[in-house]
Homo-oligomer: A and B are copies of this chain.
Amino acid sequence: MPRADARDAPRRNPKWQARLEAIIDTSARVFARQGYHATGINELCEANDLGKGALYHYIGSKEGLLAAIHDRVMDEVMQGAERVAQAGGSPPAQLEMLGDELLDVIHRYPDHVWVFLHEFPALTGERAAAFRTRRQQYERRVEAVLRAGVESGDFRALDPWLTARAWLGMHNYTYLWLKPGHRLSARDVAKPFADIFIRGIQN
């Protein structure tokens, strides 16, 4: 009797994984619309067209499903940050690329990101701790770029922590309205945002 959990996907066969991904995506849409706690298991079953037994066979628990949605977002965000680090360039260029990548994730995964930004307090114990760590890792990358810019003289003297919060807020908050099909693409937003922010902090 294999104890199912959304986290041990790697150990399962591809069909099983694909099914789980579909469940994660569908459930993210439902959670984004109604909220995590306001959504019952029965609604998830109906949305995914599965019985309770089948659903639990994949997700392990409701909170496991929530964690899987968080992971999906954080995977993408961290991959974007990694691409930026690989690309190199001046601190202003790095910051603009980080914005491009972040807004691209928000634009491509609006439901997952909504859940991520609204329901992260619902994670408990070990899962909450793991999530906080990853989120901090990303935020530290932003701070590091700002610190580098101050040292290089590209940016004026500023508090890297506080300035990172300003940057994160400006970008993350787009989750409220930045969606596929919107009149503005991710890049349409990223460019003006970078113009404002980088002008605002440069020497």
Contact in complex: A173, B169 (CB < 8 Å): yes
Contact in complex: B165, A121 (CB < 8 Å): no
Chain A interface residue count, CB cutoff 8 Å, equals 35
Q: Which of A145-172 contact B (CB under 8 A)?
A: 158-159, 162-163, 165-166, 168-172
Stoichiometry, copies per complex: 2
Chain B positions within 8 Å of A118 at CB level: 118
Interface string of A160-203 (1 = CB under 8 A from B): 00110110111111100100000010000100110111111100
Chain B positions within 8 Å of A38 at CB level: 37, 122
Contact in complex: B196, A163 (CB < 8 Å): yes
* A residues lining the B interface (CB < 8 Å): 33-38, 118-119, 121-122, 158-159, 162-163, 165-166, 168-174, 177, 184, 189, 192-193, 195-201
